[in-house]
């Protein structure tokens, strides 16, 4: 049997990612809590409820779990609606709790990465039009100033906005996220305002903390034409890639936002990323379809016989991770994998998914591409937005009713990877022998 080891660079960041609404519990003052109360919005009528009970302090035991599993970094978010519950009021107690969390990470030897916006908006922001109203640009800048001033003693890694392309398309074009609109024009307005809000936040952070590293977590969805020989399928895959993957990060690179049917220049946005955050989960095929104008006349599907997750939402396509990082090289920035993981309640798929995807990260590193870290989604099962509690992404299983955590076998695998800063043939033979020949071919 082949004996070999794939080593990652020194000081590589190994961690897990979480977000406030998904883990804190009882986030009652934001648009997602209100969305959960509406019939038909969340699968099976699930609600976030107590979530993982972090707001009552259970973050401590979960951070201890991260330490025990060898992680040296953690990505978490702060909740705007807790920090600014009304337009004329800041909650210093909430800021103190977040200060305690990031200090808790530092005291455990874990580097905090803080996301300032992860899908949720205060209800008062929603009532004034949310991301469709350009007034949000200044409001977001004020909020960012307040948070960075409070946390800068412990945090130097910042993400302004998580997956702006998901916010725009899922919330304003496909209607899956609040406010449930189905308008390409509305999605375009949201992207325009998010580019400017990020730009303002970037400059605000650097004014307060010149040494900060600031980026955006981009959702990269690898797409291929269903029939490579068919021009309309090639067009469909291309327009999906340009609108969904490319538009936002390119605007931050060159100051031009390119969307279907519109192009806007924002000179102030140019060069407003210090690193590129890459969220990658899956790849699929794209075909032209006259029956889906709201999805830019495209239809998406997985390859026949794909290695699928519990609900069929994710196909295990590790080559797409390499393609995501290859795509990211165009921006000539350090890259961090800010999310990657798979829904897998009984942990039968996660070991090979994790190893195969990390092998592709190693391939990128081996080409001397500047990949600086990897954050697994997620540390513990949490509330998965419109899919409720039907998807289990955690390294640790959560019993929602009792709040009991149970360690899945993948915890031991990820612990070895984090501690050894490598993937060895011995690890693969123990945790995912079915993919041994793919990772260590003879």
- pLDDT per residue as tens digits for the range 388-414: 999 999 999 999 999 999 999 999 999
Whether 22 contacts 387, CB under 8 Å: no
Characterise 207 by phi-psi region: left (phi > 0), alpha (psi -120 to 50), beta (else).
alpha
pLDDT at 237: 85
* pLDDT greater than 80 at residue 353: yes
Residue among 374, 275, 416, 380 at smallest CA distance from 14: 374
Whether 150 contacts 61, CB under 8 Å: no
pLDDT at 19: 98
* pLDDT greater than 90 at residue 261: no
* pLDDT greater than 90 at residue 293: no
3-state secondary structure of 23: helix
Q: What is the pLDDT of residues 142-190, one digit of tens each?
A: 999 999 999 999 999 999 999 999 999 999 999 999 999 999 899 999 9
Whether 123 contacts 31, CB under 8 Å: yes
Residue among 334, 342, 327 at smallest CA distance from 393: 342
Whether 188 contacts 131, CB under 8 Å: no
- Kindly give, in sequence order, each residue whose CB lies less than 8 Å from that of residue 154, ignoring residues fewer than 6 positions away: 99, 102, 103, 105, 106, 112
* pLDDT greater than 90 at residue 238: no
pLDDT at 10: 97
Q: What is the pLDDT of residues 10-33, one digit of tens each?
A: 999 999 999 999 999 999 999 999
Residue among 368, 371, 358 at smallest CA distance from 423: 358
Distance CA 366, CA 12 (A): 13
**Range 77-88 average pLDDT:** 98
DSSP 290-332: TT-GGGTSEEEEPPTT--B-TTS--B--THHHHHHHHHHGGG-
* pLDDT greater than 80 at residue 94: yes
Rounded (5°) CA angle 367-376-409: 115
Distance CA 1, CA 167 (A): 47
Tokens 């192009």 belong to residue: 263
The residue with greater pLDDT, 386 or 233, is 386
Q: Supply φ then ψ for residue 394, to 5 degrees.
A: -75, 145
Q: What average pLDDT does the chain have?
A: 96
User: Which domains, from first to last, does the chain contain?
Assistant: 5-439 (3.20.20.80)
pLDDT at 233: 87
Radius of gyration from C-alpha coordinates of the chain: 21
The residue with greater pLDDT, 233 or 330, is 330
- Kindly give, in sequence order, each residue whose CB lies less than 8 Å from that of residue 305, ignoring residues fewer than 6 positions away: none
* pLDDT greater than 70 at residue 294: no
Q: How confident is the model at residue 2 (pLDDT cuts 50, 70, 90)?
A: confident
DSSP 185-244: HHHHHHHHHHHHHHHHHHHHHHHH-TT-EEEEEEEEEEEEESSTT-HHHHHHHHHHIIII
Q: What is the rounded end-to-end Cα distance, in angstroms, of the chain?
A: 9
The residue with greater pLDDT, 292 or 422, is 422
pLDDT at 187: 95
Q: What is the pLDDT of residues 208-218, one digit of tens each?
A: 999 999 999 99
* pLDDT greater than 90 at residue 442: no
Q: How confident is the model at residue 297 (pLDDT cuts 50, 70, 90)?
A: confident
Q: How confident is the model at residue 243 (pLDDT cuts 50, 70, 90)?
A: confident
């Amino acid at each position: 049997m082949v004996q070999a080891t794939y080593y990652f660079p020194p000081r590589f960041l190994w961690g897990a990612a979480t977000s406030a609404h998904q883990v804190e519990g009882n986030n009652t003052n934001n648009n997602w809590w209100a969305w959960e109360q509406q019939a038909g919005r969340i699968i099976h009528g699930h609600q976030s409820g107590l979530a993982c009970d972090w707001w009552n302090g259970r973050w401590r035991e979960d951070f201890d779990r991260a330490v025990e599993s060898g992680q040296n970094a953690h990505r978490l978010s702060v909740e705007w609606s807790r920090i600014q519950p009304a337009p004329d009021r800041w909650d210093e107690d909430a800021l103190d709790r977040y200060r305690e969390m990031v200090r808790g990470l530092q005291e455990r030897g874990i580097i905090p990465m803080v996301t300032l916006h992860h899908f949720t908006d205060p209800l008062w922001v929603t009532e004034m039009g949310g991301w469709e109203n350009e007034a949000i640009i200044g409001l977001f800048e004020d909020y960012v100033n307040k948070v960075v001033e409070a946390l800068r003693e412990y945090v130097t890694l910042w993400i302004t906005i998580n997956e702006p392309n998901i916010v725009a398309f899922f919330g304003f074009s496909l209607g899956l996220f609040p406010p449930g609109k189905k308008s390409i024009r509305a999605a375009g307005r949201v992207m325009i305002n998010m580019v400017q809000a990020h730009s303002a936040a970037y400059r605000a952070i650097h004014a307060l903390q010149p040494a900060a590293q600031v980026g955006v977590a981009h959702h990269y969805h690898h797409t291929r034409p269903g029939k490579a020989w068919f021009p309309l399928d090639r067009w469909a895959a291309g327009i999906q890639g340009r609108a969904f993957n490319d538009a936002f990060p390119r605007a931050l690179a060159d100051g031009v936002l390119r969307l279907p049917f519109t192009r806007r220049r924002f000179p102030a946005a140019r060069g407003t990323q210090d690193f590129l955050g890459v969220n990658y989960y899956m790849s699929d095929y794209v075909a032209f379809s006259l029956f889906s104008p709201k999805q830019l006349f495209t239809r998406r599907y997985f390859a026949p016989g794909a290695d699928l997750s519990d609900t069929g939402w994710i196909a295990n396509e590790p080559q797409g991770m390499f393609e995501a990082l290859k795509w990211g090289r165009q921006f000539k920035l350090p890259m961090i994998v800010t999310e990657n993981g798979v829904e897998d309640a009984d942990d039968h798929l996660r070991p090979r998914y994790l190893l195969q995807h990390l092998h592709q990260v190693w391939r990128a590193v081996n080409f001397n591409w500047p990949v600086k870290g990897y954050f697994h989604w997620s540390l513990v099962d949490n509330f998965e937005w419109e899919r409720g509690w039907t998807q289990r992404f955690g390294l640790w299983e959560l019993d929602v009713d009792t709040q009991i955590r149970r360690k899945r076998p993948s915890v031991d695998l990820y612990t070895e990877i984090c501690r050894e800063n490598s993937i060895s043939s011995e690890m693969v033979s123990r945790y995912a022998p079915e993919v041994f020949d793919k990772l260590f071919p003879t």
